[in-house]
Structures are given as structure tokens and as C-alpha cells.
Amino acid sequence: MSNSVKKTIIRRPVPEHQLPDTLHPAIQRIYASRGLTRDNELDLSLQNLIPVSEFKSALVAAKCLADHLEKQSRLIIIGDYDVDGATSTVIALEVLRACGWINLSYLVPDRFVYGYGLSEGIVEEAIAEGVDVIMTVDSGISSHAGVLAAQKAGVEVIITDHHLPPAELPTANCIVNPNLPQENFSAKTLCGAGVVFYLMSALLVELESRGWFSGQKIRKPKITRWLDLLALATIADVVPMHYNNRILVSQGLARIRAGQTRPGIKALFQVAKRESCLASSQDMGFAVAPRVNAAGRLDDMTIGIECLLSQNMSKAYELAEALNEINNERRAIQANDRAEAAKALQNNKLEHSSKASICLYSEDWHQGVVGLVASGLKEKHHKPAVIFAKVDDVTLKGSARSIEGLHIKHLLDGIAAAHPGVLSKYGGHAMAAGMTLEVENFQKFSEAFEQAVDEILQPEQREALTWSDGEIMADDFNMQFARQLENSGPWGNGFAEPLFDNNFELVQQSLVGQKHLRLKLRHAQSGQTINAIAFNQELLEAVANDELHVVYELNVNRFRGSESLQLLVRQISD
């Protein structure tokens, strides 16, 4: 938060709504400002999910999978090396095994060897295992060469992905993606695991229609068993929290809180020193997901997958501890690379301050954390950012993060069309993308990126804004209201965690761990005092009794079995 671009505070407009009077007035206001205006949208029951019968590409692929299951074809699952890819792999593996599929295996591409997607190299590995079918999860929609290599070897390919498709699709045998041009399925913002969840649901329906379960004397699996993984993936991949996704996340979190989750997730909560019985979106996004993601960033996502697959608590805990150690290493690398990137900007402050974007490269930066560094710079400077790391002497890999109003995948489409050959490959969606290019093309790409961003962004889009839900009344600074807010989610991308702004008087301040600011504040009207914490914030110049305007989340702080009310400070001004 320290030294970030100053953000203008805007109160969210509140449209007319038909929400019940039984809701707290502040929660009515919060919901309505996020587009939730009718009481039927409050019902997060599974019965309100968009039915799988509407997902046409999933129905087609389900028939294909059912045919291969009846033949006991040898199938290999190839996924991405992030949380979404890992959970997608586990869901597919476990559902297919529960259906009686015997010849199953999985591969996760080593990001440092094969990179993202169904590359020709990873296809060669799969072919060497003697497979009949490759099924991708959370990847593959742009993997033309990999698909052709597999089919040339007589291997069928089923692609399941949620990333935006290119103009020309790969020649896969089946493609399942809600964003296909001919696909009318309305849940366009599913994560990769969500696509797999729907495909497996379609497969269960297809197999039942064929009499498979009764014929094989197999109990039909309940797809709800995998909602815990789907909640984790949806939160971790930061897909928009539209109604359908909110249902999936809400139901998954409920299962975790009820203890109906796998040993791996329980173990990850334990090593993160969180309580799974109180599982929230914040726990999944900031405690569980980073530990799983760390394996794919620095090591081998197989560790994360095996942790989630494990049915043995002691083994799951052992793997969770390994993930925790990798995550600690990731934090150190990320802190170093972020500091180096900040220094690079500072050293050329005049040049960078006039630019609409950030595009940086260092041969010393780590491939596994470029997305995190880009995200941090984007947040701090309110500019689209792309960070590159060295793969070898001729190749760079980059990760981009965008701001509201600039669709990064579409921007890259434009660069690829205007400058053929500059990008070796790329893919992504509105707010994030990945790309590969040759070192000699970095400068040309950097200039093209800056030009495209500068042309697209309007003056009002360049202004950093903080959207606030307004003031909290003095009577609502209590645990009861904080718990109501906590239970009114799930919150996430497009359904933002409530942020409030009020005037307070400073009572006292101190640093915690030399980088976080602990505050005691006094409500300007009521005189009530309340504790607050501001992460990555230096001591304020303000002194006791000075008035501050604070933007914050109202938070239940849980520590060693006790609960207390605190503010999570997002912005402070005098």
C-alpha cells in the first residue's frame, strides 16, 4: 500500500432493488451496487445452477468419453501448472476412476521445459506412454501444433479449456469451452475446473443413459463430492464471481466447513494455520491457493496434485508441508524480483511516469513469479504491466496483468496482427495473459504494447479509483455486523469484498514486523475506538488526535481461538 498511486474514492451508485427488508440496510446497498437486485438471486442452492444440458460442447465430448470408457482406451490428462489446472486434473482423474476407467494417467508440463499448453514436447511424452486419448484440462485451446502432433501419431485429443479461443481452432476431436463461437452456454466465466466439472456431470448423465453403472455394478458418483476443489479453483483463478460461480463457490465452501473435504485441503488449512471449519474465500485465495500454486511456479505441480489426490491424512500433511516450504521460497524470490522491478522503474522514473504501461525484462528474474510481479506493479501504479523472464539465450516468457477497461487478450491479438512474428505464442483473457517471444523482439514488443495501451485507454480509465460502499454507521462497528458481512459472500472478482470509508481520529500507531502498520482509531462521531492493520504501510506523518479518512474492510480477526473486530485498511488520507 505504501507509495502506491493515489486513488480517488468513489461511492458506488445504488440502483433500485427488490431485496427483502429482512436484510441489513447496508447489505442491501452492497448487493444492489453489485447488480444483485432481486431476492431470488440470494438463493445459492445447487438447483439454481445453469443445467449441464445447455452446455452443448460438453454433451458432445461426454459421448466421446463414454465411447472410450466402454473400450477402456488408455487416456492421459494433461493440465496447466496452476491451481486451476491441478484441481481440474484431480476432478477428472477421480470422477473417471469412480466410473470404472482403469487405464488412466496424468502429466503436468514442466513450465521450464515445455511451457504452457499442449506443446509438441509434452505430446511426445504422452505418446511414449502408449496412450489412445489425450484430454487437456485448463489448457489447449491455442495448441495447434500439439494437437496435430498427437493426431499424426493416431492419438485422439479432447480439449477442455476456458481461455478465449483463437480465430482458428485446433483440429481436436472434441473441444469443450463455454467461449466457443457456436456455444450458447451462458456461464462464460467458468474456470478450467468448472469446465471439467460440467463435462464430468455430462458424462455421468450419458453413462447412466447407457445403463453403464447398473451393468458394471458401480455406484454412480455424486458430482457434488468435487465442489471443494471447484471452489478452490474458481477463487484461485480470479474468474468473475457471477451468479453461477457464486453458487459453485458457496456450495464448495459449505462442504469444506462441514468437514466434507479431502485430506489435502484439510492439511493445507493446517499448515497455513487456518481453520477449515471457518473456510472463506479469503482463506482459499490467500492461504490455500498460493501454497498449491507455488509448486507449479518453482518446482513440479505433481506435488500439489498428489496432495489433493491423497486419501491419507498423514501423507497429505507431509505433502502440504512440502508445498508450504516451496511457498516460503516463492515469497523470497517474489520479494526480490519485485524490489528489482521497482528499482528499475525508479531509476528511469521520468521515462516511466509518462508512459501508459509498464513493460520490463531482466535475465535474473524467475519465470515462476513474473505474473505476481506484474500484478503487484499493476496494482501499485494503476497501469497494465507485463514482466518478462529469460528462458534461454533466445527466448523470453512474459506475464501480463491489465486494469479495468483494457482487454489484454484482445490487445495482444492486435499486436500479433500488426506485427507478425513478434509474439511467438500467447493466450489469456481480459485481465491476464501469458506470452513467449524472442529476446531480439523485446524492444519491438515493448513499443507496440505501449502504443496499443496508450491508444486504447481513455483519460478517465487512467485514473486510479477506489470504489467504496460508503460509511458504516457507528452502531454497526460490532462483531455481529462483521459476521453478517462475512456470511453474505462469497466475494470475489466482479462481486467485490465490501469496502467502506469513514473519518477517524488517530489514537496511536506502531509497526509490526517492520513493515505493517498497526493502528488504534477513534470513530469521529461516536468516539468508539477500534483496532486496525495496514499491510506494507510505513508510519504515518500524522500524530495523535489528527483526523484521517480511511478506506477499509470490516474484519473478524481470529487468532489462537479468539475473535476480535478490526479494520483491514486499504487506503489512508488526511
Is residue 6 classed exposed, middle or buried when 0-12, 13-18 and 19+ CB atoms within 10 A define those classes? exposed
Q: How far apart are CA 50 and CA 187, in angstroms?
A: 7
Residues 509, 539: contact at Cβ < 8 Å? yes
Side by side, which strands form the sheet with 75-79? Answer: 104-107, 75-79, 133-137, 156-160, 174-176
Per-residue confidence (pLDDT) for residue 3, from 0 to 100: 58
Per-residue confidence (pLDDT) for residue 524, from 0 to 100: 83
DSSP-assigned letter for residue 38:
B
Q: What is the three-class DSSP state of 19?
A: coil
- Segment-wise mean pLDDT, segments of 10 residues, the chain, 574 residues: 77 95 96 94 96 98 99 97 97 99 94 84 96 97 96 98 94 98 96 99 99 97 98 96 97 98 99 95 96 94 98 98 98 96 89 91 95 95 96 94 94 96 91 94 97 94 94 92 94 95 95 90 90 93 92 90 92 88
Q: Identify the residue whose cell numbers are 445504488.
A: 14
Per-residue confidence (pLDDT) for residue 205, from 0 to 100: 99
**Taking Cα atoms as reference points, which of 73, 134, 74 lies closest to residue 109?**
134
Contacts of 569 (CB under 8 A, 6+ apart): 1, 517, 519, 532, 533, 534, 537, 550, 551, 552
Q: b/e per residue, 22-59, with b = 16+ CB within 10 A? A: ebeebbbbbbbbbebbeeebeebeeeebbebeebebbb
CA 185 to chain centre: 21
CA dihedral 126, 112, 226, 269 (to 10 degrees): 150
- The model's pTM: 0.93
Region 469-573: CATH code: 2.40.50.460
Kindly state the cell numbers that stand for 292. 498449491
DSSP-assigned letter for residue 189:
T
How crowded is the C-beta side of 176, counted as CA atoms within 13 Å? 34
Q: Which whole-number Å values give the CA distances from 285 to 88, 121, 289, 299, in the listed order?
A: 17, 32, 5, 20
Helix or strand run (H / E) with residue 432: strand 432-438
How crowded is the C-beta side of 79, counted as CA atoms within 13 Å? 29
Residue 338 phi/psi, 5-degree rounding, is -65, -40
User: How many helices (H) and strands (E) would you count in the chain?
Assistant: 19, 17
Q: Which amino acid is at 136?
A: T
∠ at Cα 364 (363, 365), nearest 5°? 95
Helix intervals (H) in 99-155 = 120-128, 144-152
Q: How far apart are CA 436 and CA 244, in angstroms?
A: 33
Strand 133-137 and strand 75-79: the pairing is parallel
User: DSSP letters of 307-372?
Assistant: HHH---HHHHHHHHHHHHHHHHHHHHHHHHHHHHHHHHHHHTHHHHHT-SSEEEEETTS-GGGHHH
Q: How far apart are CA 407 and CA 254, in angstroms?
A: 33
Sign for the pseudo-dihedral over CA of 468, 469, 471, 474: negative
In the chain, which residues fall in CATH 2.40.50.460? 469-573
Contacts of 217 (CB under 8 A, 6+ apart): none
Q: What is the three-class DSSP state of 202?
A: helix
Record: fold of 52-220? inorganic pyrophosphatase (n-terminal core) (3.90.1640)
Phi-psi region of 145 (alpha: psi -120 to 50; beta: other; left: phi over 0): alpha
Q: Which amino acid is at 540?
A: L
CA 420 to chain centre: 30
Per-residue confidence (pLDDT) for residue 2, from 0 to 100: 55
Q: How far apart are CA 114 and CA 219, in angstroms?
A: 39
In the chain, which residues fall in CATH 3.90.1640.30? 52-220
One of 3.10.560.10, 3.10.310.30, 2.40.30.10, 3.30.230.10 is the CATH number of 348-462, namely 3.10.310.30
Q: What is the three-class DSSP state of 561?
A: coil
DSSP-assigned letter for residue 420:
T
**Taking Cα atoms as reference points, which of 122, 121, 163 lies closest to residue 141?**
163
Q: How far apart are CA 14 and CA 30, in angstroms?
A: 8
Residues 355, 327: contact at Cβ < 8 Å? no
Per-residue confidence (pLDDT) for residue 111, from 0 to 100: 81
Q: How far apart are CA 242 and CA 351, in angstroms?
A: 39
Contacts of 183 (CB under 8 A, 6+ apart): 55, 56, 57, 177
In the chain, which residues fall in CATH 3.10.310.30? 348-462
Per-residue confidence (pLDDT) for residue 351, from 0 to 100: 78
